[in-house]
Structure 1
């Protein structure tokens, strides 16, 4: 089957076993794109996604990766490039179980840990991937936070690292555009998947949910598939003249 919106080669989804990441992998498979995705600890969930994609007639591999492991990142990129000839898409879709707390209560140790995993992890992967994406004139898509545009109290550990990453997205767009690389983000609001579902009965209780919905233009929470649609658009040739941008998928939270 001919790939209408993607060239030959593979897409690499970092954090593909998570809620939004899983939906992105499935959407790539719809475009007949081979997918290599990473997971951190949950091998069972990763294997389930591989099996699901295989049953759909797609091609996928799951690789365990810690984004602080620079040698592991290098090996992943080399292996994927050799097997599929080129990597044309890199999607950063890692989600973290980050505590919801006020800045004054955040310990220096927790702050450093989050920066190491989120900001430095993004740098480690994209820095190593740039030579491969130059060869393919490929695309980077980062799953970011709508909190960049309207800050939600007690969300500094999520939003602050995303702000730093957005500067790197702009740096890649500005500096690598001459090599054909594009870099964009999808800034998401509350999505009914992943961390939200795990903390729905505790942190994100009914009162919290109703308060958030009251501030949305569309009075409902988003779906992982809606995030995937935006990510695939930015990764594909349909957005071939779009770079350094952020699409918000937040139900109008930031309006």
Structure 2
């Protein structure tokens, strides 16, 4: 018998639905019949195209703009998910994070780093704290945060990401411990390499990047390519499958965990 994922009545909120992980997750959820509100920050054109495509396929999906630095926009996105879900939002997935230039961590520019942490780790707090308060009132739910495999293995020129995502992992554990009594589960998915292209195809797309950023990105891709045991990136559906599972009824006994999506990179 095939395993079918099921979900409570209500809607899901996918923050960052236009990124690779977010799009893959959103597609898995809507195909399982879950109404989805997904957010974007700057990619309005891509968000609208996804919304039109998925609505055209008969799915209940809504794009809203949200900034993780803006509590009011988070409140509005949660309210939209609750309305779409008939009064209940049972799932919140934070599917990505802001971009930060790859460099040696000591060479990171302080203003850019401060802004990154405000958007990333503090943004995760703003979203999850609000989601917890909403879910306490409606019988619980599931929270999942996308973190980074660099929390578990050093990745060349990628020290800034785990500097912030390490705090997100701590946040996940704390929420899982404190909110279990409210029926709220909370997990993390450290990802390594999610891209619908080979390493060489990705490197070919980097030709217009200025130096030294271009060399740093290429070094990172080369490391992932050489040290990932499955010798390829995850495609967006493979990422979506894991996030969708952790939000499902079938994952009802999974909480406080970091489930790595890395093709064996961290071995």
TM-score, normalized by the shorter chain, greater than 0.5: yes
Mapping for residues 147-186 of structure 1, pairs under 5 Å: 147-186=150-189
TM-score normalised according to structure 2 size: 0.88
Whether 2:250 is the aligned partner of 1:238: answer: yes
Q: 2:102 aligns with which of 100, 103, 128?
A: 100
Any idea what SS the aligned residue of 1:136 has?
Answer: coil
- How far the C-alpha of 1:208 sits from its partner, in A, is 5.2
**Are the aligned partners of 2:155 and 2:220 in contact in 1 as well (CA < 8 Å)?**
no
Quote the Cα distance in structure 1 between the aligned partners of 2:14 and 2:227.
32
Quote the Cα distance in structure 2 between the aligned partners of 1:130 and 1:96.
22
Q: Identify the residue that residue 47 of structure 1 maps to in structure 2.
A: 48
Q: Identify the residue that residue 218 of structure 1 maps to in structure 2.
A: 230
Question: Alpha carbon RMSD of aligned pairs, Å?
Answer: 2.0
Any idea what SS the aligned residue of 1:139 has?
Answer: strand
- How far the C-alpha of 1:158 sits from its partner, in A, is 1.2
- How far the C-alpha of 1:23 sits from its partner, in A, is 1.0
Greater shift, 226-235 or 88-97, is seen at: 88-97
State the aligned residue count.
251
Q: Identify the residue that residue 139 of structure 1 maps to in structure 2.
A: 142
- How far the C-alpha of 1:139 sits from its partner, in A, is 0.1
Q: Identify the residue that residue 190 of structure 1 maps to in structure 2.
A: 193
Pair 193,20 (structure 1): closer, same or farther in 2 beyond 3 Å: farther
The gaps in structure 2 that reach 5 residues or longer are: 208-213
Any idea what SS the aligned residue of 1:248 has?
Answer: coil
Q: 2:120 aligns with which of 104, 113, 118?
A: 118
Pair 156,5 (structure 1): closer, same or farther in 2 beyond 3 Å: same
Quote the Cα distance in structure 1 between the aligned partners of 2:28 and 2:233.
20
Any idea what SS the aligned residue of 2:120 has?
Answer: helix
**Are the aligned partners of 1:87 and 1:136 in contact in 2 as well (CA < 8 Å)?**
no
